[in-house]
Amino acid sequence: MYTKTQLKQEKPSVNRITEVCARFADEITKIPGAEKTMVCFQCGTCTGDCPIARFSNSYRPRQIIRMVQLGLKSKVLSSPRIWLCAGCYTCTDRCPQDIEVASVLRVLRNLVVQEGFIPSVYRELASNVLDTGYAYMIPEMRLKKREEEGLPSLPKANLENLAKLFDLTGLSKIL
């Protein structure tokens, strides 16, 4: 989870993203997962049920959806809040309009990543996956403890295939 200072510092530069209000919503709704964005009627169920919104004074998935509907491209793509979604899909399960709210969030983040911005915490997670096959570096001490407890050793990832995947998706370049 970000601290307030991190959120301020990590505001991405979206100067290269042209704000064309009318086209933005159109662009978003063509991307799989975000097709139904325009049918949101702002009931607020997604925000009411979101575990992140519960602990944040500023994270409101309903508002993010509204910003997309209004075509506020620069504003929504430069908002650090789009990175706070935990991807739990509660909002998607509960939306009365069948909007895949979590997928809309993913679509927005992907657009920002395509512009070359990744918050440092995600960059670190991706680098860990590339280097070890695991999102988190597992301390030696914990591995030893597993051994002592008679647990099987952790499976090894195919790092060569992972590297290929990172290349194919363009993630290596961005990292």
Q: Which is nearer to ligand SF4, 95 or 118 (CB)?
A: 95
**Closer CB to ligand SF4, 14 or 50, in the complex:** 50
What's the min distance (Å) between Cβ of 100 and ligand SF4? Answer: 9
**What are the residues whose beta carbons fall under 8 Å from the beta carbon of 96, sequence distance 6 or more?**
43, 45
Mutual orientation of helices 101-114 and 21-28 as an angle, nearest 10°? Answer: 120
Residue 66 tokens read as 């509204």
Q: How far is the CB of 45 from ligand SF4 (least distance, A)?
A: 4
Closest approach of Cβ 47 to ligand SF4, in Å?
Answer: 7
Q: Between residues 86 and 143, which has the closer beta carbon with respect to ligand SF4?
A: 86
Whole-number Å distance between alpha carbons of 28 and 24: 6
Give dist(CA 61, CA 67) in Å, integer: 10
The CA distance from 133 to 130, in Å, is: 6
CB-based burial of residue 10 (10 Å sphere; 0-12 exposed, 13-18 middle, 19+ buried)?
middle
Toward ligand SF4, which CB reaches closer, 125 or 162? 125
- The binding site for ligand SF4 (CB under 6 A) comprises 40-46, 50-52, 61-62, 65, 85-91, 95-97, 99, 101-102, 105
CB of 26 to ligand SF4, least distance (A): 18
